Amino acid sequence: MARRDRKRSCGAQCCGGCLGVFVVALVVFSIWYSSTGYNQPHIPPPPLLPNPNAFNDYVTLGQMLKANGGTGAVFGGVRPGAPSLAAEKALVARNQAVLSRLRLAMANPGRVPSSRSYYDVFPYLADMREMARLLAAEEDVLAAHGDYAGSFSAGIDGIRVAQDIGRGGTLIHGLVSLAMQAIIRQTMIRQVDRLTVSQCAGLAARLRATLLARPAAIETLENERDLTLSSLSRITDSNAYEVFRIASSREGGATSGERQFGAMAWHFMRDRTLKDIEAYHAALQREAARPASKRAEVPEPKSPIAAMLMPVFAQWPRGFDDNDTRNRLLHCMLRIREYQLTRHKLPSRLDALGIEPTLLVDPYTGATITYLPKGDDYLLYCLGPDGRDDGGVPANESSPSPFMGDIGVRPFRATNPSAGSLGSNNYRRVPHMLPPKLPPGSPPLTEW
């Protein structure tokens, strides 16, 4: 009996030992497999930069603008969109050299150098927003002197510079590009009905070429994908804890225990994280290529690190669509103005204007932008991400979802009219749309 028990004990020990060896071997193999980078994702090499590159001049000019005092004295602390004309004139006069050199730089193509590391910083982006404000001030000054075509042309220059700041960049570059264009468009909208026939024709041709050359939404997603995969692929034992620090937005260094845990955990999470990120971006790019109202929500990745890093990118296509829509509507307004002055009547349809078909597409539906002549005026709008036609009533874009209303050339925002928070200069009538729906007791809207 004792002999039989000893045999069982020996057998159990043997099985346990074999299992332990197998587990150790599996761990060693997993670590080796991960550390060899055998499952490295495909990351294309950074594209060649143009030479000369207008982007380098933009950075230098942004520094010059800052050295000249920037735009804070004109725009800082004042309700956005309402600086004094005298302050704008002084700002423009002080920066004539910057503006002149900017136009020379625009003769060359511009592209942001590709980023492949989370440690890259972009201090020039704040200067680029300052540049947009300078160009907006120049628009106002030119319009005040009756040079409405020059004002609109300065706006086209601003859109071109903003697009160059987004070209080749990551999500933060794209967001700054959208913000710059929003600043620039405000004055452009007011000049359309002041232009002559010949001015409309020339400016429409310039704006068309600028809009057709804009970087696509998918390009920004691809750049962000390459940055993320490249950064994570280079993580080693010595800095694996940085993954967890970055993902959790934690500041400061890590303890020795956290370093050891990060290194061990990263060995087992690396391949799955990279695969999940690749799959998520592939799905996100497929959906971004579809009209907004027809997009499906992309499920979050299952692996913890990918789940922390990825969801922020899902909102990018919507922001891009909003900007694209307003630029297309502005182009349509310009061509309608030209047609009306030439033939003394409004066009019956947008396709009578000879506009590039891709610039007549509603990004939210994939159908044609909505245009309805009404006497001497017209309605012009897109349907919004819900794909529903609300008859040209603008959505309150400060309201939480669900989204209700249409999209016009200018956003309408009324965050809390009764409390006096009127969404800044966006609490006003939207050109060529119906009045927005306002709650009882709201202040009157200002004009365009």
152-199 confidence digits (pLDDT tens): 999 999 999 999 999 999 999 999 999 999 999 999 999 999 999 999
Tell me what pLDDT residue 243 has: 56
Q: Looking at residue 38, what is its pLDDT? A: 47
Those residues whose C-beta lies under 8 Å from the C-beta of residue 127, and which sit 6 or more positions away, are: 59, 62, 63, 65, 66
Cβ burial of 195 (10 Å; 0-12, 13-18, 19+) is buried
Please enumerate in sequence order all residues whose Cβ is within 8 A of that of 375, keeping only pairs 6 or more positions apart, or say none: none
Residue 421's pLDDT is 46
| pLDDT per position as a tens digit, 242-290 | 555 555 555 555 555 555 555 566 666 778 888 888 999 999 999 999 9
CA angle 247, 251, 252 (to 5 degrees): 125
Residue 106 in 3-state DSSP?
Answer: coil
Q: Where does residue 196 fall: left (phi above 0), alpha (psi -120 to 50 degrees), or beta otherwise? A: beta
Domain extent listing, the chain:
47-215, 219-309, 321-448
Q: pLDDT tier at 440 (50, 70, 90 boundaries)?
A: confident
Instruction: Say which residue, 386 or 199, is predicted with more confidence.
Output: 199
pLDDT at 122 over 70: yes
